[in-house]
Structures are given as structure tokens and as C-alpha cells.
Amino acid sequence: MDKLWAPWRMKYISGAHKDEGCIFCTKPKENNDRDNLILYRGKHAFVMMNLFPYNNGHLMVAPYKHTGNIEDLDDNELLDMMHLVQKSIKAIKKCMRPDGFNTGFNIGRAAGAGIEAHVHFHIVPRWVGDTNFMPTLAGTKVISEHILDTYDKIYKEIHLEDI
């Protein structure tokens, strides 16, 4: 029997991740971007991989300001976020070649927000046929590449324009 191996999801499954505080506030203050899956830092926002991805390459763009309300962000924060969304999509297109993207905000529990207290923008690469029998019948998503391998590929692409 084949095994699906995704050890980084255990914290999510067990609920152990909930005691760590707001990841969008704590992780950018640390100096270990690769371990924290932070791909890029802008002036008002940053790009981070989702540790519990909907799909391989699932990124999140969050402002440094802690707020659950998009209307609390000023024009500079919103502009920086959208610039980082654009930069992220360009990088993913180059190194992963998806067929499309799901993008957007989930604001509030009713909209599916996992972290309601800190607004963030999701970027989820999609491929034709990426929803097969596993998520449909088993409620399990197969991600065939280790998250740090994906991090390294996207990190390289997202920083190319900075050279």
C-alpha cells in the first residue's frame, strides 16, 4: 500500500498550531525566513507560503499591520499587497506553470477565514485535473513535492527582479 507523507500537516490536524499566536505578526519578526516560509518582504506587506496548503505553491500575502478588516488598511498597504500578489503570480507561473489561479481574501469565519484576526490574500495555483478522487472521496489532498523544495523554487523566481 502506498503512503501519503505530509508531516507538516500534523500540527493542523492535531490543533497544536492554534497556540502560536498570530503567524502574520510573529513570523516576520523572526530572522529565519526559510523555516517560517516567508518568501518576500515588502515595505508594508510580505509573502508567505501556507503551511497547510490547498494546493502546491499556495501563498499568502499579508500586511504587517494586525487587523482583520481590509478597510483598516491604508492605500500604501493595499498597493504593496497587490504588488506582491502580482510578483508572486509571476514567480509561480515561471517555476510551476499552473493552468490558472484561485485568488482572494476570506474575510470572517463565514467566508472560510482560518485566521480571522489578520487579513491576508490567498494565491492558489491550479492545474487542469488537480481535483481527482482523493479530495472527492477521501477528503485528502495529495501534494507531491516537499514544501521546502517548493519554497526554494519560488524564492529563486520571486527574487530575480531584485538583482
**Residues 14, 50, 25: CA angle, nearest 5 degrees:** 90
C-beta of residue 80 within 8 angstroms of C-beta of residue 118? no
Among candidate residues 32, 51, 143, the one with its CA nearest the CA of residue 96: 143
Residue 2 to residues 39, 97, 142, Cα–Cα distance (Å): 32, 27, 12
31 is annotated as contributing to ligand binding: no
122 is annotated as contributing to ligand binding: yes
Active-site residue identified among 17, 118, 120, 146: 120
> Which residues sit opposite 46 in a β-bridge?
41, 62
Question: 10 Å Cβ neighbour count for 56?
Answer: 22
Q: Cβ neighbours of residue 66 under 8 Å, at least 6 residues apart?
A: 22, 24, 25, 117, 118
Whether residue 83 lies in the annotated active site: no
Annotated binding-site positions for substrate: 50, 122
Active site residues: 120
Annotated binding-site positions: 50, 122
